[in-house]
Structure 1
Amino acid sequence: MRPGDPTELELAGQVIELVRRLGGPAAQAEAVVTRADLALTRFANSAIHQNVAESTVGIRLRVHVDGRTAAGSGSVVTADGLRTLVERTLAAARLCPPDPGWPGLAPPTPAPLAPPVDEATAHAEPDQRADRVRAFVAAAGGLSTAGYCRTAHRSSAFANSAGHTAHGRFVEAAMDGIARQGGADGVARRCADRLSDIDGAELGGHAAAKAQAAADPIELPPGRYEVVFEPAAVADLLQNLSWYGFNGKRYAERQSFAEPGADQFDRAVTLVDDPLGASGLPFDAEGTGRRALTLVEAGTTRAVAHDRRTAAEAGAESTGHAVAGGATWGPMARNLRLSGAAAGPASAVGRSTTGTAAGAVVDSDTAALIAGVRRGLLVTDLWYTRVLDPKSLVVTGLTRNGVWLVEDGTVVRAVRDLRFTESYPRALGPGAVLGLGARPVRQPDRVDGAWWAAPPVRLASWHFTGGASG
C-alpha cells in the first residue's frame, strides 16, 4: 500500500456509505476489502520455469434492499469504481427474487485476537522461494522434479451498515513437489505459517525416496483391504467431510450424513476446525468472529458449520464459517485438524525404511502404524475424487503417487494405482480406525488460507473396485 492510500477499513466504510446514499436508509449492506500479495515459483523438468507475483485489491459487496439480496465484486478502488460497484449491485438486487431467509447483518461484536503474522513470509522475495526449489531439486538426486513454492499475504477488512467492523491479516507458505523415476512418482507437500518452516531438501528427499520405491509395481485384484493412509490421502477425507458433511446448508437440506449427538465415528477420531490455530483471519465473510469449532469429539458428532443464514434456519448461532458464495455452497470448515491417540509406541522422530530395498521410505509415525498390518496397503495420496451419494458420502476416486503392499508389518513392493468406491464416514466409523499417528502434518489446499492437518491413519477396510483404468 502506497503512502496516502486509504486503508482496507476506510475503503469498506466508503462502500457502506455509498450504499446508504444510493440505496436509501433501509438498505442493508456488508463489504469486505482485501489486499492480497500472492507469489508463486513453479518448476518443471528440475528447473524453475515461472515466477509470478500479483498485488491486488478486491471488494466484495452484499446488499439487501426491499426484501431482495444481491452480491457483487470489483477491483477498482477509485471513487467512480466504488460507485459503479454499488450501483451495479443495487440494480441486481431489484431483479432478484424475494429473499425471505435473509438473516440480517452481524451486530457490532469484538473479533477474537488472531495470531501474529510472520513479516518475513509476508514480504518474501523470489530468491527465498527459489532457494527451496533448488534444495528440493538437489535432494532428489537427479530424478526429474516438478512443483511449486508459494507465499501469500492478505490484509482484509469488514464493515456493514449495522456498524460492525473488523480487520485482520494472514500469511501462508506452501510447497508441493513430485519426483519422477520412469513412470513412478513420489510426492511431498507442506503448508506452514512461516516460509522458514518449509524445508525444500527434506521434501525433495522424501519425494525422491517415494519415487524410487514405487518402481516395478504389481497388479492386485479389487477387494477390501486394510490400509494405512499418509497425511496427503487423509487430507482428501477431511476436505470431503467438510464440504459435504459438516456443511450447515447441506445439513438443513438433509443431504448430510451428520447427526449431532450420535456416535458416528471411531472413538479415536476428534475433528476440530481451527482457523486461528495458524495464521488466519479472525472473521468470516459476514464479519462473524472465527473460533475453534469441535465437529467430532472422541467419535461423537458435535456440530456442523453455520453461517448466519443456516444458523437462523436451525435456530442456532453462526459458527463463523460464511464464505463468498455461501448462499450457493453453504458454510465451510476449511481448516480441519484430525487428532487422536497415537497408534502404539511411536519411535523417535525421523525416517525409517520399512521392508526391503523396494520398500517405501516413511516417517516414524507411519512406520508405527505399518508395523501392525498383517496384510494391507500403504497409500500416499488420493485424487480425482467425486461424490456419488452426498447423504452417505460415498466417493469414488483413484490412488496416486505411490501404493505399496504391506505383509506382516513389512512393505513388500509397489502396487499399481487402484480405483476405489467408499463411504468416508463408514471408513472412519466405530471400530474402523485401528490407529492414528501422533503428529498432524498440514497439507496445503489449492486456495491459500485453507489447509488440512492430519497424521497418518490406519483403517480396517477400504473398498478398491478395480485398476486405475476402470
Structure 2
Amino acid sequence: MDLAGRVVELVAGLAGPDAQAEVTVGRAELALTRFANSAIHQNVAESAVEVRLRLHVEGRTAAGSASTATADGLRTLVERVLVAARITPPDPAWPGLAPPAPVAPSAEWDAGIAYAEPADRAALVRAFVDAADGLTTAGYCRTAVRTAAFANSAGHAARGRTAEAAMDGIARAGGVDGTARHSVDRLADLDGAALGRRAAAKARAAADPVELPPGRYPVVLEPAAVADLLQNLAWYGFNGKRYAERQSFAVPGVAQLDPAVTLVDDPLRGAGLPFDLEGTPTRALTLVDAGTTRAVAHDRRSAAATGAESTGHAGVGSSTFGPVPHHLRLAPAGAANPTASTPTVSPYGAAADADTAALVSRMGRGLLVSDFWYTRVLEPKSLVITGLTRNGVWLVEDGRITRAVRDLRFTESYPRALGPGSVLEVGRRTARQPDGLDGVWWDAPSLRLASWNFTGGASG
C-alpha cells in the first residue's frame, strides 16, 4: 500500500496537482511442475513485483509498468508515462478515477498453496501418474499466490491477496487421449489420483472410434466443453466494450437463454482480488438470471459509454479489448430436476462421471462430448463459433454409451445452443476448470442440449 501511495505522490510532484493517477502494485509467486512421458521434466518458480501506472494529464491518457520498487525505478516509470501522456492524442472518453469506496477483505488464503514446495506438486503428479495404471501421461500442476495494493489521486486505496492451485493432465492409450483438470482454492482439495483415474478411464473408453456423418445431434457436454462456452460468452458476449459497440448479443432485460441457465461472475468465490485494476470493488455479478440477461461486465470506460456503473472488471488490456468476467459460474440444477435413473452399465461407462452419466441416461440418440478446442469466432454479434472436439466423443443410444466416435468439427451459435427450449437438463454438480492464465477459472456442470451443429468429420 505504501509503495502505491508513493507513486501517486511522485506523480503529483512531477506532473502537478491536476494530474490524475492510479497505481497498482502486485507481487506474484508462481510455481509450475510439468510432466511428460509420465515423468517430471520441468519445475520452475517465479517471484516478481510489477508496478502499473495509468496517468491522465492535460486531457491525455497513458499507461506503463515496471518490475522494480526502487526509488530511481519508480521515478523513471512516472517520467516515462508522463512523456507518453503528453504526446498521445486527447482522450475525451476518460471516465475519471474511482472514488473512495469500501473494499471487502480477501478470503483467507490457503497455507498449503502459499507455502507449497516442489515436493508437494511432485506428490500430486506422482499420484496422477500412478493412477493412470501404465498409460503414458503428461500435464502440469501449478500453485499461484498474488498480493496487490492500489492507490489513486482521488484518495482511494485498497489491498488484497489470493491463491489458486490447479492441475491439468492427459493419459494416452493407443494414440487416444483422455483428460482431467481441476482448479481449487485449497491444495488439499486437489486430488491427483482421482484426476489420473479419470483421464485414464476416458482414454481407454475412447479406443477404436467410428466416424459419424455431420449433422445436428443432441449432446451432453461435459464440464470441460461447457467451460469453452463460458469463456467465449465472457469474452465476446458479456464484455461491456463490445456491448457499447453493439457487437454483443446481450440485451439486458430480455429472456435470451433457457430458463435453466443462470450465470454469475464471482471473483470473490475464489482466486479473485476484491478490487479491479481501477480500484473498483469487485462483487458477485449476475449476468443471466433464469434465462434473462441482467447485466454485462463493465470497467469505468465502458460504463461511462453506456450510462452504467463499473462492475469492477477493469483489467490489463480492458481499455482496448474490453472488460471480461474471468470467474464465471453456470449454476447447477436444484432439487427440482428429475431424479437420475441408474445408467445401464456398458463397456464405455467409465467415460462419464456419475453426474454426467445421469444426463446421458435420459438421452435417446446423441453424442457425449468431453471437450472443445481451437474454437474461433466466425460472427461476433450472434457468437457463431467454429471448433473441434477432443479428448473423447461417444455415441449414445437409448441412454447407453455404445461407441467411441472420431473427432468432429462444429459451427454453432453459443447463445442459440443455450436459447429458450434448447437446454434440456443441467447437471447437479459443477467442476471448476482452470484457464491457461492463473487466477482465471470457469465453473461448470454438464449440460444436455437439444442439438449441436457438427459440420464435418475426421475425413473432411
Q: TM-score, normalised on structure 1?
A: 0.96
Equivalent residue number for residue 33 of structure 2: 41
CA deviation map 1:139-190 (0-9, x unaligned): 0000000000000000000010111000000000000000001111000000
Say whether 1:439 aligns with 2:444: no
Equivalent of 1:344, from 328, 338, 346? 338
Q: Using the TM superposition, give the Cα deviation of residue 230 of structure 1 relative to its aligned residue in structure 2, in angstroms.
A: 0.3
Q: Residue type matched to 1:130 in 2?
A: A
Residues 192-244 of structure 1, C-alpha deviation per residue, up to 9 Å, x if partnerless? 00111000000000000000000000000000000000000000000000100
> Which of 402, 416, 434 does residue 406 from structure 2 map onto?
416
Counterpart for residue 388 of structure 1: 378
Match of 2:22 in 1: 30
Task: Give the Cα–Cα distance (whole angstroms) in 2 for the partners of residues 143 and 324 of structure 1.
Answer: 40
The answer to whether 1:202 aligns with 2:194 is yes
Number of residue equivalences: 458
- Structure-2 residue corresponding to 1:130: 122
Matched, 1:450 2:440: yes
The partner residue of 2:102 within 110, 119, 127 is 110
**2:295 is the counterpart of 1:292:** no
Matched letter for residue 418 of structure 2: L
1:429-451 deviation digits (Å, cap 9, x = unpaired): 00000100011110001111110
**Taking structure 1 as reference, are residues 68 and 468 closer, same or farther at Cα in structure 2, changes over 3 Å only?**
farther
Provide closer, same or farther for how the CA distance between residues 201 and 353 of structure 1 changes in structure 2, counting only shifts above 3 A: farther
Q: Deviations over 1:49-81 (max 9, x none)?
A: 000001100111100011010110110211111
Q: CA distance change for structure 1 residues 460 and 122 in 2, over 3 Å: closer, same or farther?
A: same
Q: Give the letter aligned to residue 193 of structure 1.
A: D
Q: Structure 1, residues 340-394: CA drift from partner, whole Å, max 9, x if none? A: 42553147xxxx9865324443211101100111100000000000000010000
For residue 13 of structure 1, report the CA deviation from its aligned partner.
1.0
Q: Which residue pairs with 1:185 in the alignment? A: 177
Q: Displaced runs of 4+ in structure 1, greater than 3 A?
A: 352-355
Contact 2:34 2:140 in 1 (8 A): yes
* Gap regions ≥5 residues in structure 1: 1-8
Percent of aligned positions that are identical: 71
Structure 1 pair 353–54 and aligned structure 2 pair: CA distance change class (3 A): farther
Whether 1:325 and 2:309 are equivalent positions in the alignment is no
Q: Which amino acid aligns with 2:435?
A: D
Q: How many angstroms apart in 2 are the aligned matches of 1:310 and 1:55? A: 33
Contact 1:116 1:279 survives alignment (8 Å)? no
* Inter-CA distance 413–119: structure 2 relative to 1 (3 Å threshold): same
1:411 maps to a residue whose letter is I
SS in 2 for 1:341: coil
- Which one of 347, 369, 392 corresponds to residue 402 of structure 1? 392
1:219 counterpart residue number: 211
Given residue 444 of structure 2, which amino acid in structure 1 is its aligned partner? A
The CA distance in 1 between the partners of 2:290 and 2:348, in whole Å, is 37
**Does structure 2 retain, via aligned residues, the 8 Å contact 1:209–1:360?**
yes
TM-score by length of 2: 0.98
Distance, in Å, in 2 between the alignment partners of 1:21 and 1:113 is 31
For the pair 1:75 / 2:67, whether they are aligned, the reply is: yes
Matches within 5 A, 1:241-390: 241-342=233-334, 343-346=337-340, 355-390=345-380
SS of 1:276 mapped into structure 2: helix
Are residue 156 (structure 1) and residue 148 (structure 2) matched? yes
User: Conserved in 2, the CA contact under 8 Å of 1:354 and 1:362?
Assistant: no
Letter in 2 for 1:373: M
Shift of 1:120: 1.9
Are 1:427 and 1:459, in contact at CA under 8 Å, matched by a contact in 2? yes
CA distance in 1, matches of 2:306, 2:346: 55
Contact 1:346/1:438, CA 8 A, preserved across alignment: no
Quote how far apart the aligned CAs of 1:98 are.
0.6
Two-structure CA RMSD over aligned residues (Å): 1.2
Within the candidate set 55, 69, 89, 1:63 is matched to 55
